[in-house]
Structure 1
Amino acid sequence: MKTIDMCCLGVVVVLNILKVCELCQTVRATRSSRFVPEGGSIHMSCEVVHCGLLWKGGWVFQDIQSTSFTPLSPSIRVQLSNFNLTVNSTRQTVHVQNINQSDAGAYKCQILWSKNLSSSGHVTYVNVTAESSGRNLSHRLLVCLGAMMGFSLVLGLFCCLTKGHPSTPPVLPHPRTSFTAQVNRKKEVVYAEVALKETRMQTHRPKQVIQPTLYASLRF
């Protein structure tokens, strides 16, 4: 029993050592496919987990017509950098400016360890598309033209609606009442009342009996 227990413990220790070694000698990167317009730029990064072990290497590139990867070298268009995230890991970055068709291909991080061991991160495929500055300019012109036509249509519709309905005449300000206007207004009211009284008197006045005119009388 003791022998079996010792064997099991040895296997567990070996597996843990292998697991630690595997975790320490790895390259973390994301597999992706990216489209970059000609003349643009791209930025990629990977994380090297080394746990303090010695290592060397960096970004490598394989163009469309090649069958093997070649290390990238810094230049005016290509900037390579690395910085320590922790004592156990380092981030490596690559930034390519003014991309042209020769930059299309596969990129990845490839690290060399001791005892001729190597690790590679996931591959990023870069596709370089045609320059789209003229397309962007024409698109902007079409957008501006559409906006102008829409504004003209709305303005014309507003003018038609305004002509169809007559505008409300302006309200004239009330003039201040002068003393003469007040007197005339009082006289008009008085005349109206007098005329009303006269008509009422005429309607209620009893009719006068007209006496017959005698031209001659005969007495016997």
Structure 2
Amino acid sequence: MYEFLLSAISCLFIFQGGVFSEECSQSVIGKRATFFAPAGSSLSLSCVVQHCGGHWTGNWIWQNLTDSTSAAVTNSASHLVTSVTLDVNKTKLDLKIVNVIQSDEGSYRCNVKWRDGSSDVSHWMQVNVTKGVAFQRSLLHRALVCTCSFLCLPVILGLARCLSSEVKPQPQPRIEVLYAAARRDSSHEPPQPPPRRPVPKKRTAPPQKAPQTSQQKPEVG
């Protein structure tokens, strides 16, 4: 009886160990997909590392679509690699591409190395770079501005014509008003006779003086 209990307990532990080992198996989960990223935009890629609480290291691999050359993606001003813990068995490995350029085009996948030296990879995620959104927006903005200008020009001209027809004449200066009032006041006064001209005085000839007779002295005999 005692031996039967020991064998039952050992079988139970073995069964539980097998169940738990089957529930969590180390793997890298990343969906195969194609992304179209406009130049100048940002793009985020991610994969899930199921490590089951064990030690692991991981990174992102980039592969050129033309010659199939590959390289590891490292942190830089335009590429940011981060990891987010989901639970005790899973961690999400993210890659964010800031300001996508033409050289970012290619295939990306996660590469994970386990404690025992083995490694796993996710599916390839292909990135295609399209034309920049800034250029497309600028063209659309210019087209909208030109269209609105052509549509609003007749309305503006009509409003200007209406406003010009309703403009009232400005009042005359105050000096002219005062001058007109003075003329109205003077019209009620009786007419004034024209001023008399002064009578010119007759010029009188100065009296002529009698010529002086020279007195001759009497001759003495």
- TM-score band, normalised by the shorter chain? 0.5 to 0.7
Displacement of 1:15 after TM fit?
7.7
Alpha-carbon distance in 2 for matches of 1:56, 1:105: 23
Q: What is the SS of the residue equivalent to 2:116?
A: helix
Give a deviation string over 1:146-175, Cα, whole Å, max 9, x none. Answer: 34545568x69x99xxxxxxxxxxxxxxxx
Superposed counterparts of 1:144-159, under 5 Å = 144-150=145-151
Give a deviation string over 1:82-115, Cα, whole Å, max 9, x none. Answer: 1211111111111112222211100111111233
RMSD: 3.3
Alpha-carbon distance in 2 for matches of 1:30, 1:147: 46
Give a deviation string over 1:168-195, Cα, whole Å, max 9, x none. Answer: xxxxxxxxxxxxxxxxxxxxxxxxxxxx
Determine if contact 1:59/1:110 at 8 Å carries over to the other structure: yes
Superposed counterparts of 1:29-40, under 5 Å = 29-40=30-41
Higher radius of gyration, 1 or 2: 2
TM-score (norm 1): 0.55
The answer to whether structure 1 residue 20 and structure 2 residue 23 are counterparts is: yes
Distance of aligned partners of 1:114 and 1:134 in 2 relative to their CA distance in 1, 3 Å threshold: closer
Gaps in structure 2 of 5+ consecutive residues: 1-11, 160-221
- 2:101 alignment counterpart: 100
Alpha-carbon distance in 1 for matches of 2:46, 2:90: 13
- 1:110 alignment counterpart: 111
Determine if contact 2:40/2:133 at 8 Å carries over to the other structure: no
Of 143-152 and 43-52, deviating more is: 143-152
Distance of aligned partners of 1:85 and 1:21 in 2 relative to their CA distance in 1, 3 Å threshold: closer
Alpha-carbon distance in 2 for matches of 1:19, 1:150: 71
Distance of aligned partners of 1:72 and 1:14 in 2 relative to their CA distance in 1, 3 Å threshold: same
TM-score (norm 2): 0.55
Amino acid of the structure 1 residue aligned with 2:34 = S
Give a deviation string over 1:35-65, Cα, whole Å, max 9, x none. Answer: 2222222111211111111211221111223
Amino acid of the structure 2 residue aligned with 1:140 = H
Gaps in structure 1 of 5+ consecutive residues: 1-8, 160-220
The answer to whether structure 1 residue 41 and structure 2 residue 50 are counterparts is: no
Distance of aligned partners of 1:124 and 1:20 in 2 relative to their CA distance in 1, 3 Å threshold: same
- 1:72 alignment counterpart: 73
Superposed counterparts of 1:123-202, under 5 Å = 123-150=124-151
Alpha-carbon distance in 1 for matches of 2:82, 2:28: 16
Identity level (%): 26
- 2:212 alignment counterpart: none
- 2:61 alignment counterpart: 60
Distance of aligned partners of 1:88 and 1:139 in 2 relative to their CA distance in 1, 3 Å threshold: same
Q: What is the SS of the residue equivalent to 1:126?
A: strand
Alpha-carbon distance in 2 for matches of 1:68, 1:119: 19
Alpha-carbon distance in 1 for matches of 2:16, 2:68: 41
Amino acid of the structure 2 residue aligned with 1:81 = T
